Amino acid sequence: MASQAVRDLLWVVNSPSFVRGSAVASPAVLQAEQIDPDALQRFLGEDPPHRVGRYFEQLVHYWLVHVRGVELLGAGLQIRSGKRTIGELDFVYRDEDGVVVHCEVAVKFFLHHPRHGQSDFPGPNASDNFELKTNKLFEQQLELSREHFPAVERRQAFVKGMVFYRSRRPDELPERMSPNHASGKWIYADDLDQLQQHAAAGGIIVTKPHWLAPLAGAAITDMLSLVADLRTHFAGDRGHPVMISLSDGSTTEEIERMFVVPQHWPELEAERLLGTVEK
């Protein structure tokens, strides 16, 4: 069985783009045989970063340099105006055809929740949303190299992720959201009884940073115990949103990815988070 790092790297490259548009990176294909698992593990170190986005960036970095073999000109390049940092370029590299590329990378997870006058795709951290993230990426981050790194010949976004739906997928999606995006389901903590009728035999709470590929060799918890653990987490409506992976009873392979959110999500969750930041 492939290691979790290998599975995650395969997901990073092979999963469908989360965004669409002229400045989106072309699809790529990566085979497990192209990855040296020991070299990948050494690159990541024994203690991967907790933040999913940072872990994703490390995997992209490894793929660019150690699999594709591009000439990396800079990673995490800070752009300054006088003494003030105004932004950062994720990756600048010379690709296989000799073209200098500025690539901004991101992995994001959003939940479909129609709200009047607001984004219908907030994140688990409800102060974030799809339009806010993509507008910043395309209109600000990718544009930074135009003035501050004039050698760049091509600018592209490499964005992966998932949308979790409570019911059916809407007929209309945001302009920049790819219709081929990966998806899952979300429920409120008060709806945990639904899991008792699920086809899955059990599952596991997915911890950061491993929100990418299905977990390798995970110890699956039976459904009754998983629901009990989730009820404890959300007791008193205090718990933060949780990602879970549900598996069948014979192979332990993932059959569905879900988010469970507190009853006050997203309205009070956003206020609570913003209040924490302001303090």
State pLDDT tens for residues 189-231: 999 998 988 878 889 999 999 999 998 777 889 999 999 999 9
Phi, psi of 163 (to 5 degrees): -115, 135
Q: Domain check: are 101 and 148 in the same one?
A: yes
Q: What is the pTM of this model?
A: 0.92
**Is residue 177 situated within a structural domain?**
no
Query: What's the pLDDT at 230?
Result: 95
pLDDT band for position 275 (50/70/90)? Answer: low
Is the same domain home to 8 and 126? Answer: yes
Q: Are 91 and 43 in contact (CB under 8 A)?
A: no
Residue 246 carries which side chain, given as an amino acid letter?
L
Mean of pLDDT values over 256-266: 94
Do 123 and 195 sit in the same domain of this protein?
no
* 156 lies in the same domain as 220: no
Per-residue pLDDT tens over the stretch 138-152: 999 999 999 899 999
The number of domains in the chain is 2
Residues 212 and 131 in one domain: no
More confident residue, 273 or 140: 140
Q: Which domain holds residue 136?
A: 4-165
Residues 66 and 153 in one domain: yes
Q: Could you tell me if 232 and 259 are in contact, meaning their C-beta atoms sit under 8 angstroms apart?
A: no
What is the pLDDT of the chain when averaged over all its residues?
Answer: 91
Torsion of CA 205, 10, 156, 64, to 10 degrees: 120
195/263 same-domain check: yes
What average pLDDT score do residues 21-48 get?
A: 94
For residue 252, being part of any structural domain is answered with: yes
One domain for residues 203 and 157 = no
| Rounded Cα gap, residues 211 and 4, in angstroms | 11
User: What pLDDT is recorded for position 272?
Assistant: 54
Whole-angstrom distance, CA of residue 114 vs CA of residue 123: 12
Percent of the chain with pLDDT over 70: 95
pLDDT of residue 269: 54
Q: Are residues 210 and 154 in the same domain?
A: no
Query: Domain check: are 9 and 131 in the same one?
Result: yes
- Phi, psi for residue 161 in degrees, rounded to 5: 160, -165
Residue 253 inside a domain? The answer is yes
